[in-house]
Structure formats: structure tokens, C-alpha cells
Chains A and B, each alone.
Chain A
Amino acid sequence: MEHLAKAIVAIIGDYHNHVGFQFTETHVMDWISQFDIEDQQFILEEFLHLLEQGIYISRAKAKQLLSARIEELIVTLRYPDAVSLLSETVFLDLQKPGKSQQDLLALLNEIIVDKYGIDLNKCGTKAQKVFIYLDDVLATGNTIAVHLSSWLRSVNEEGEFYYELVNEKRITLIVSVFCYHNWGWANTQWKFKQQLDNDQIMNNVLLFHDYEIQNHIRRNNPRLNLAYPIEPQSEAVNAYLQNLQATTNLEVAYRKVNLPSRETFFSSPANRTRFENILLHKGVDIINRVRNINAKGLRPLGYTAGTHKTHGLGTLFFLWRNIPNNCPLVFWWDNPVYNWRGLFPVRNRGI
């Protein structure tokens, strides 16, 4: 198994290097040792298979993607060059310190200073025509919906509402993420409509992304490139779901066994089911060890909307600076009191 650990470290080895963490093969082996012995090799093999599909974003990769995004925006928004674009672009800073947005803005600053000789503080000083909400992952979309609904209802220095400026196409509002979930985006768009009582706004907020997670199970033929288990489940899992206070979406807590219609993510349909079940069972096990969970959206397969009676989002997408809390708990739950060490130690979980 050491060769698998080595191959995994070769991909995710820069995780948290910026805060002094060294991702070693020993760390991977410690983590895998918490699973049942007969599952250990399988988990590493399957996880490596998934990682090889580009679901980990290293710091270097993130810089490359952000650079490419600037180039993409120059073309899409028809600017002659980067400096012209950036001098009319405002990067929104709506999240609290320590959250992903500020880290990404700092990284972006490095890029634009190096490449174009323009500082983030100088962006948008000529005019304010493009507004960009930068984030790493759009998962349920709740964070973006809350931040941007509130921003859209605020006014600029001339007292004009931003949502009117967006709808009149006097400004362009862009959500730029490395990864988005298509169910979360649909719900985000609908929340914009509800919050602003306006249909147009849904299509006028533009989404730019690098990777799509098709988790909208009620759309046609979703790829389901995440952890989305099937029934039947163990008594412990059934009891967990039954006892959740949440009330909505129980009908999509599980995928149908014939979905996805063609496997394009896991190494085989059988391996998908096995991998998902291990994550789910271990996640329920972890949650059952915690006595008081205040966070309504916490689930064995990762955070989801607090109203959803499901096992969690099951996100399988990771980044160097932190992994989304929508990922299954086995990856990030890191609390010796509850006898579990996550593969990816995290910051700011706030639990």
C-alpha cells in the first residue's frame, strides 16, 4: 500500500504547506489505518483513481487557473488586454477574514502584480464595470446567495441599485469558482429570483468555472461525480437518517441503483457503491461519537442545507488551502477526542 500512499502524496502533497503542514506517506498510512483492514487497499486505489481525474487543486494549479480566468474574461468581455479589464474590475470582498475569498484574492494579487504589474487595490479605479465574486467552490450555493442577494440590493455611490445596473447590463456580475455543483447553482439562481423578485437577474449573474459536479439528481442523466450512496443501508445508517430533524429532499437522499447511466468517474459501478458505502458508514460512525452537534447542516457525507434530510453533499473536490466542509467527514473530521484524524486537517470549521 505504500506505493499508493506515495502516488497520493505526489498529487496532494502541497496541502496546507503554506501553514507548515507536511503531507507525508506516513500521514496517509495513519489515516487509512482507521478503516477496516479489508477496505484499506481498496480505498487508496479508488481514491487515487479519483485524484488522477483532477479533483485536487494545488496552489500552483490554482494560480494557473486564475491566470487562465483573466485571459478568458478578456476575450468574453471584449477587452483589449488585462490591464484594461482589471482597471474596470472590482473584486468583491464580502466574506469574513480567514474564509476562502480573501485567500484567493491574495493569490490573485500575486498573479496580477507579477504578470500585469497591477495591484488589486488599483483594480476598478478607472471605472467599475465588472464585479467579480471569487470563491473556490460553489456547493449548496447558500453562501453566495446570501452574500450576493444582499450586495445586489445595495447601492453604488450614485445611489443606484446594483441589481438594476446588472439587469440593465450597465455592469457585469460574475461568479468565478474552480468548482461548482449544478444543483447548488440552480438553487442559487432561484434564490436570486426570490430575493429580488426578479426573473432576469437569474440569467444575468454569470458563472465561470473550471470543474462541474453534476449532483442535480432530478435533472436528466446526471454524472454524479461525487459520493451519492444507494439503498439498502445498515441499521445504523437508516436510524441516523430517520432521526434527522430536517424534513425536505428525503426522496433524493439516495441515488437509484441504475444511476449514473454510464460510469465516468469511479473505476467501476461496483467500486463506486463500495467506496460510497465506506464513506457513509464511517461518517455516521464519526457523527454518532459526537454528542452535541449544533450545526444543522452537518452530515456524514459533508455539509448540506440544514433543511435537507439527506446524508450530505458528498463533494469529492479538494484544494491546497482547505477542503470544502461539503466533503465526506472521513476526509476532514479531525478531532482526537472523537478518535478520528482526517486526511486533510482543516481550518475554520467552527464546530
Chain B
Amino acid sequence: MEIREYNIKDVVSFQKTKDDFGGLSNMAGGYSVNINDVIIPTVEHLYQACKFPLFPDIQEEIITENSPITAKMISRKYNKFVRQDWDDIRIKVMRWVLSIKLSQNWERFSALLLSTEDRPIVELSYRDKIWGAVENGDKLIGVNALGRLLMELRDKYAKHGYESRCIDPPAVVGLMLYRHEIGVICDDVHKEEFLISKEELEHCD
């Protein structure tokens, strides 16, 4: 992905989760996700856990930590155990975690994406020119990979009201959580169970 320049006044930017558009941040609370019936507090936790498919104990340490910032710090602590192909697959993984975030938090997250209208979405950073962009006069300069993936989600799904209830895994070998392969993730399953269980209550304790 190439570097881009954005005019500050044209963009929707976010930096902290408390900002108006803070919900766009991977660290934002209120957008938990569910992978293989494991509830994960933020997509930052999920993204970090994906770095360690062969180390379920590290994944658990990350996922059971409440704070996404601390979860990221835990992940850094284990840098030498990060899968070797991570740099080649991380964009694919990020696209996937964002799709999960949208699918499982459709009402709120699609509304937030739509509220950015057609403006460029940029993650404002002090130094990360890959995932975000840094300020330079009245410009923001960087690859802005996260912002671009969010715009892709907005334009492909949110704008068309295309609520995808099942998300395919990325084309990545060995995407695992706690030693279990991550396959197609369908959130509808839980809703179905809920409806059936209402009928079955007469029979069950």
C-alpha cells in the first residue's frame, strides 16, 4: 500500500477512543466480538492474539486482559513468538477482524461508519505511518491502512445496508484461537439457539 496525503480539514480522524469517532479505533470498548464462542473485549485483543496461533497461553493472557492498551503491551512482550509471516498477512488479518467487528456490532458500527459520510477516514498518529497518518502542517501523511480498510467496509457494506452475518476467514494458513482453527464465523447461530430455547423451555430445566 502506498503513502497518501490528506487535507486535515477534509477528513474524519480519530486518535482516542473517547473522541467523537473513537468507536472507529480498534481499542474502542462496546464492540466486543465472539470467535468460536470465546468473547473478546475489543478487536485489538483479537488482532494481537492472531499473532500467536501456536501459543494459546499467550493468547489467553492477551484476551483475558480488560484493557486493550495493556493487551497490546502483553503482545509486545512476546515479540519473539510472533508468527514469522505476520508482516505478509497482517493487512488480511486486520481486514478480517474489522469485518467481524461490523458483522457482530452491525447497528452501532454501521451507523458510525455511515456518519463519516464520504469523507476520508484517517487514524491520526504521532509516529505510525503504516496503520495511520501523521500530521504535517495542514496535511496528514501516511499509508493510513486502518482508515482505508474502514472506508472499504463503509463503501462495500454499510452504505448498501449489506449486513453480512457470516464472515469467511482470511486466506491465511493456521489462523487459530486456543488451538482451534478459525473458520467461517456466523453470529446468527446464537440467535437461532435463543429462539429454539424459548420453545424448548417447557421441556428443559
Residues of chain A whose beta carbon lies under 8 Å from any beta carbon of chain B: 99-100, 137, 139-140, 142-143, 145-146, 149, 183, 186-187, 189-191, 193-195, 197, 199-200, 202, 216, 218-221, 248, 294-297, 303, 305-307, 322, 324-326, 348-351
Q: A228–B31 Cα gap in the complex (Å)? A: 33
Q: Check B60 against A351 for contact (C-beta < 8 Å).
A: no
Residues of A contacting B2 in the complex (Cβ-Cβ under 8 angstroms): none
The segment out of B11-19, B87-95, B137-145, B194-202 that lies at the interface is B194-202
Could you say which of A142, A183, A303, A326 contacts B194, with CB atoms under 8 Å apart? A142
By secondary structure, the A interface counts as loop
Cβ < 8 Å to A, chain B residues 175-196: 177-180, 187, 189-194, 196
Additional pairs, 18, CB under 8 Å, beyond known A194-B190, A349-B203: A99-B205, A143-B204, A146-B194, A146-B201, A186-B39, A193-B32, A199-B105, A218-B177, A220-B178, A221-B56, A248-B189, A297-B200, A306-B197, A306-B200, A307-B189, A307-B196, A324-B205, A325-B204
User: Whose C-beta in chain A lies nearest to the C-beta of B202?
Assistant: A350
Question: Contact: A200 with B30, CB < 8 Å?
Answer: yes
Do B190 and A187 have beta carbons less than 8 Å apart?
yes
What are the residues of chain A within 8 A of B202 when measuring CB–CB? Answer: 350
B57 on the A face (CB < 8 A) = yes
Complex contacts, A146 vs chain B, CB 8 Å: 194, 197-198, 201
Q: Does B29 contact A (CB under 8 A)?
A: yes
What's the A-B contact tally at a CB cutoff of 8 Å? 105
The total of chain B residues at the interface (CB under 8 A) is 36
The answer for the CA separation of A132 and B124 in the assembled complex, in Å, is: 45
A sample of 19 inter-chain contacts (CB < 8 A) reads A100-B205, A142-B193, A142-B194, A142-B201, A145-B197, A146-B198, A146-B201, A149-B194, A183-B37, A190-B37, A193-B32, A194-B187, A197-B107, A202-B39, A220-B56, A220-B178, A296-B196, A303-B203, A325-B205
Expressed in whole angstroms, the Cα–Cα distance for A107 and B92 within the complex equals 56
